[in-house]
Amino acid sequence: MTDTATLQSDADLALKRKHRAMWASGDYPTLASDLIWELGTRVVAAADVRPGERVLDIAAGSGNAAIPAALRGATVVASDLAPELFDVGRRLATEAGAELEWREADAEHLPFRDAEFDVALSTVGIMFAPHHQEAADELLRVVKPGGRIALIAWTPEGFIGQMFKTMKPFAAPLPEGAQPAPLWGDEQHVRGLLGERATDVEMVRESVRIDRFRTGEEFRDYFKHHYGPTIAVYHRIADDPEQVRALDQALAELGRAHGLDGSGRGTEWEYLLFTARRS
């Protein structure tokens, strides 16, 4: 078991506090329910979660994968760096009739025993741990040999990956050693992180259709109020009206380029679905 109270520098602890505050800002549970709840059901199906199995959802948020896994009869732990998201998750679980455990946990320092879980899941969650190799190592450590892994991550080329690219010039530089989240949506990168410790690897690019927004401006304004990473970038440039206008325009243009032009066509958000077994 990793000792989460040790082996972390002051800088790393400060970074994690910043990440926790970022995800606690805005209203990620509403965003997840409004836009991507179905991705949780998709990853649970891909992992073939079964009754009686012990399942860990890493960076679970408000439980869009953990709750469907529990409804299949699994014993589920929903873990996240930001426990502020759990209140909504508990309510949603109660409404669905699901029982599960909610546990505050850093994906890079999981407070669980080696080989404790039959299945590990993450739905656009583990990808945001800043140190990818550390998160991958912990993911593999807590899964039993022969256990199953299923992950969904936004691709660099897809809509959300391009949103992060659009925000990058306005965002704070990544800390030393940190990597961009959408790299988890790159097949070669994920293979490199897991190496020979994962077998029966399958990776497929899929997309979720988003019909909520008609225009780029609607998308932009929704993310400005709901999505922690977007809120953090706007907070950083809040005292520079020119930069705020530039980012407003850039995000609206991104939406228009992906079909949010007032026509009602909606847009597609591409993700990588990764499944494997622990060697």
Q: What are the pLDDT digits (tens) for 111-145? A: 999 999 999 999 999 999 999 999 999 999 999 99
User: Does 18 have pLDDT greater than 60?
Assistant: yes
Q: What proportion of the chain, given as a percentage, has pLDDT over 90?
A: 95
* CATH code of 74's domain: 3.40.50.150
Contacts of 144-147 with C-beta under 8 Å, sequence gap 24+, read 144/115, 144/116, 144/117, 144/118, 144/278, 145/115, 145/278, 145/279, 146/277, 146/278, 147/115, 147/117, 147/118, 147/119, 147/120, 147/277, 147/278
User: Does 3 have pLDDT greater than 50?
Assistant: no
The dihedral formed by the CA atoms of 114, 119, 125 and 130, expressed in degrees to the nearest 10: 30
Q: Residue 26: which domain range? A: 10-211+267-278
Asked, for residue 246, whether it belongs to a domain, the answer is no
Is the CB of residue 134 less than 8 Å from the CB of residue 177? no
Closest CA to 111 of 81, 70, 72: 81
Closest CA to 159 of 11, 258, 84: 258
d(CA 234, CA 25): 12
3-state secondary structure string across 207-222: EEEECCCCEHHHHHHH
pLDDT grade, residue 7 (50/70/90)?
low
Instruction: Give mean pLDDT, residues 229-240.
Output: 98
**pTM attached to this predicted model:** 0.95
Instruction: Give mean pLDDT, residues 62-80.
Output: 98
What is the total count of domains within the chain?
1
Is the CB of residue 149 less than 8 Å from the CB of residue 184? no
Q: If you count them, how many residues does the chain have?
A: 279
Asked, for residue 220, whether it belongs to a domain, the answer is no
Closest CA to 79 of 94, 91, 89: 89
pLDDT (tens digit, 9 = 90+) per residue, 89-103?
Answer: 999 999 999 999 999
User: Does 188 have pLDDT greater than 70?
Assistant: yes
Asked, for residue 222, whether it belongs to a domain, the answer is no
pLDDT (tens digit, 9 = 90+) per residue, 36-47?
Answer: 999 999 999 999
Asked, for residue 55, whether it belongs to a domain, the answer is yes
Asked, for residue 153, whether it belongs to a domain, the answer is yes
Return the pLDDT at 9. Answer: 83
pLDDT grade, residue 78 (50/70/90)?
very high
Closest CA to 123 of 81, 155, 154: 154
Closest CA to 89 of 75, 106, 103, 73: 103
> Which residues, 6 or more positions from 183, have their beta carbon under 8 angstroms from its beta carbon?
127, 132, 156, 189
* Residue 4 or residue 171, greater confidence: 171
Return the pLDDT at 114. Answer: 98
Asked, for residue 251, whether it belongs to a domain, the answer is no
Concatenated DSSP letters of 123-150? ES-GGGSS-HHHHHHHHHHTEEEEEEEE
If one counts every other C-beta atom within 10 angstroms of the C-beta of residue 17, the result is 11
Place of tokens 């790159």: 186
Give Cα 250 distance to the centre of its chain. 23
Asked, for residue 46, whether it belongs to a domain, the answer is yes
Asked, for residue 65, whether it belongs to a domain, the answer is yes
User: Side by side, which strands form the sheet with 54-57?
Assistant: 101-104, 75-80, 54-57, 117-123, 143-154, 267-278, 198-210
List the beta strands (DSSP E) in the chain.
54-57, 75-80, 101-104, 117-123, 143-154, 198-210, 267-278
